[in-house]
Structure 1
């Protein structure tokens, strides 16, 4: 074969140029990451069932979804975890070469069939079906700067969950975002002895909170059908959902015949706290809230990391006073170094 090209140098030059041009054209579309994506496609299903034990999750959520996943086209295997914090995760692995988008659609269709057998609370919380590369691309943190007057980590986590995470999730190339904190929530600590003393149960408390913490339409004045002389209409706005511990404490659990009533504050302590206390993040010894970004399959690690950093910079303009962000872990830096070494070696080879 070498003799063939030695005798035909012009043909060899033309072929080499074609190969060079083809490589240059394909270069922008090549995925850039710290490690090659050799693992088979994986789809992650996340479900939340507040207050449920691990066994309840397995019996009522995980096993139901797994039954529907059996027989999925191209599925290699699945593995699931259920914990006592009320969250379950199922990782579905497909055979190598499977299109990740088609695999995600297949999983979503299977979950749709299982929804009729899942608890309503789980459906209201939402089932997340995501595809992402294994391992974290980067981890970002929000933390209070030195000298900040207010260092309420619960409030900071709530701000990040509501105003930052969704923006980062929409960045091109981000496959999945894991948040190591939780939004603020109204916490109700019930005193069992007081509850029994009033002849009430946990179900009574749950029913009262659901019934009295709801937004309902109040209608309007002057709407049709009405007098033809009516010129104005007014929509009524009434307060429905409760906002603070004092309002929750006034929820009526039972009205007695003598006109007295048992309120939530009579049997429980109500306060604003974190929705979940499973995570605690620290940066240089100081408490912070952290989010981990996983790369979407085939995405460019360097471009995605830079886009996330740029979006955080844009969002930081509206951060609460005394709050900043940092990126303590970023694998794209290693990719930058590796690419620089490749370019240096290429230039060195051309010179030689």
Structure 2
């Protein structure tokens, strides 16, 4: 088989040369299209199911949320195992699929199963899927530079403007907000006044909810002009909350201000974000979607930040605190320089060892062709250019050169023996 292949190559040199040129060109194209990252993604093929039920203890979460979900999710096809974690007010379930399963197929199967088990969960509990990212998907962290602006305003800018702008970047799975305060209205009810007016907490909650709503009307025409009727019922400030009527007693409305104190507050926080010991700040985490090019995603996010920054209030700007692109560039540059140095050293040693420029060239030309062609396989198996993969290519240069030297020496030996036989045959005829 090998003899036939060698003979075919010798008889069709131009075809072999054309094939080598085609592989080199295809390899160069593959290098440009190959995904770039600093570290390989070795995380498991998993789908995260997150459920929130605030105010409940871990044991209640385990019994009424986690256990029903785990028992139902275990029957999904191609699932290896299911992990779960229950904590105060939250439940996390990790559905681990087999490695060859498509991520979005797995997510659709989990959604189908969640739709069928909703009735077994407590009222008001709705499980949701986590982002379609991996454990190494946090590619960029940023904060907002906003001196003189309170943390509540900064968080509002992050949640209602910056986050929506950056989520439109291709390859971004989620923009996770952190830090600051999420504004809310807080009603501090006086139990003595509730007892005096004979009002329950449920009546207060019902009154606030019903008065913080909008209702649509119908459309009617007047003088060939169409009018749409609607009500503006959403609460806009503290005074409107204070004036909500909870109950009427002896034709006198009992307002929220009569039984409670209303003030601006924030949702309960599980932690704070401090930057370099200079105080609290607000920012976000860019989570990259599964299988995307980290270097390209980071560049697109930075370009989008320049567009979003034009709409920020005066004095507010972005501050990038973690950027993986620096690590990616340093890692790729280090491996690239190592490859160039190895190629140069190997070329010099091969030429000095063989002392025959045609034989040396036949070996040296294999190095760039083989390295370029290896990126075709990297793209086929969806492997990014990272420290591990490029280091493997660098180590393989020695094997490439060794094989070339062995084949060249073997060919040179057979040619010498053949030439010796021809010389002896000529001598015998003389």
- Displacement of 1:3 in angstroms is 9.8
2:76 is the alignment partner of 1:111: no
Q: Size of the alignment, in residue pairs?
A: 338
Taking structure 1 as reference, are residues 156 and 350 closer, same or farther at Cα in structure 2, changes over 3 Å only? same
Q: Is the 8 A contact 1:280 1:289 kept in 2?
A: no
- Displacement of 1:4 in angstroms is 9.5
Taking structure 1 as reference, are residues 13 and 59 closer, same or farther at Cα in structure 2, changes over 3 Å only? same
2:265 is the alignment partner of 1:273: yes
The two structures, once aligned, show a CA RMSD in angstroms of 3.0
Q: Is the 8 A contact 1:218 1:236 kept in 2?
A: yes
For the residue of structure 2 that corresponds to 1:164, the secondary structure is helix
The equivalent residue for 1:226 is none
Structure 2, gaps ≥5 residues long: 346-430
Taking structure 1 as reference, are residues 121 and 101 closer, same or farther at Cα in structure 2, changes over 3 Å only? same
- Displacement of 1:289 in angstroms is 1.0
Q: Using structure 2 for the length normalisation, give the TM-score.
A: 0.69
Q: Which runs of structure 2 are paired with 1:173-212 in the superposition (5 Å)?
A: 173-181=171-179, 183-212=182-211
Q: Distance in 1 between matches of 2:339 and 2:3?
A: 27
Q: Distance in 2 between matches of 1:89 and 1:171?
A: 27
- Displacement of 1:202 in angstroms is 2.6
Q: Distance in 2 between matches of 1:166 and 1:53?
A: 33
Q: Distance in 2 between matches of 1:91 and 1:58?
A: 14
Taking structure 1 as reference, are residues 58 and 133 closer, same or farther at Cα in structure 2, changes over 3 Å only? same
Taking structure 1 as reference, are residues 270 and 109 closer, same or farther at Cα in structure 2, changes over 3 Å only? same
Which stretch has the larger CA shift, 191-200 or 6-15?
6-15
Taking structure 1 as reference, are residues 335 and 112 closer, same or farther at Cα in structure 2, changes over 3 Å only? same
Give CA deviations for 1:131-167 in whole Å, capped at 9, x if unaligned: 111032121111313xx4xx21011101211111122
Q: 2:224 aligns with which of 223, 228, 231?
A: 231
Q: Distance in 2 between matches of 1:294 and 1:231?
A: 53
For the residue of structure 2 that corresponds to 1:130, the secondary structure is coil
Q: Distance in 1 between matches of 2:237 and 2:87?
A: 30
- Displacement of 1:51 in angstroms is 4.8
Q: Which runs of structure 2 are paired with 1:57-206 in the superposition (5 Å)?
A: 57-84=61-88, 86-119=89-122, 121-123=124-126, 127-135=128-136, 136-145=138-147, 148=148, 151-181=149-179, 183-206=182-205
Q: Distance in 2 between matches of 1:103 and 1:350?
A: 44
Q: Which has the higher helix share?
A: 2
Q: Which runs of structure 2 are paired with 1:302-341 in the superposition (5 Å)?
A: 302-341=295-334
Structure 1, gaps ≥5 residues long: 224-229
Q: Distance in 1 between matches of 2:207 and 2:66?
A: 30
2:252 is the alignment partner of 1:260: yes
Q: Is the 8 A contact 1:39 1:96 kept in 2?
A: no
Q: Distance in 1 between matches of 2:166 and 2:94?
A: 23
For the residue of structure 1 that corresponds to 2:332, the secondary structure is helix
Taking structure 1 as reference, are residues 93 and 317 closer, same or farther at Cα in structure 2, changes over 3 Å only? same
For the residue of structure 2 that corresponds to 1:43, the secondary structure is strand
Taking structure 1 as reference, are residues 108 and 130 closer, same or farther at Cα in structure 2, changes over 3 Å only? farther
Q: Distance in 1 between matches of 2:122 and 2:209?
A: 17
Q: Is the 8 A contact 1:108 1:129 kept in 2?
A: no
Q: Which runs of structure 2 are paired with 1:245-256 in the superposition (5 Å)?
A: 245-256=238-249
Taking structure 1 as reference, are residues 55 and 319 closer, same or farther at Cα in structure 2, changes over 3 Å only? farther
Taking structure 1 as reference, are residues 166 and 233 closer, same or farther at Cα in structure 2, changes over 3 Å only? closer
- Displacement of 1:50 in angstroms is 4.9
Which stretch has the larger CA shift, 104-113 or 199-208?
199-208
Give CA deviations for 1:314-346 in whole Å, capped at 9, x if unaligned: 111111222121111122211110111122223
For the residue of structure 1 that corresponds to 2:326, the secondary structure is helix
Q: Using structure 1 for the length normalisation, give the TM-score.
A: 0.83
Taking structure 1 as reference, are residues 276 and 172 closer, same or farther at Cα in structure 2, changes over 3 Å only? farther
- Displacement of 1:87 in angstroms is 4.1
Taking structure 1 as reference, are residues 132 and 20 closer, same or farther at Cα in structure 2, changes over 3 Å only? same
Which stretch has the larger CA shift, 247-256 or 275-284?
275-284
Give CA deviations for 1:19-53 in whole Å, capped at 9, x if unaligned: 53443343344332222122221222233345555
Taking structure 1 as reference, are residues 216 and 295 closer, same or farther at Cα in structure 2, changes over 3 Å only? same
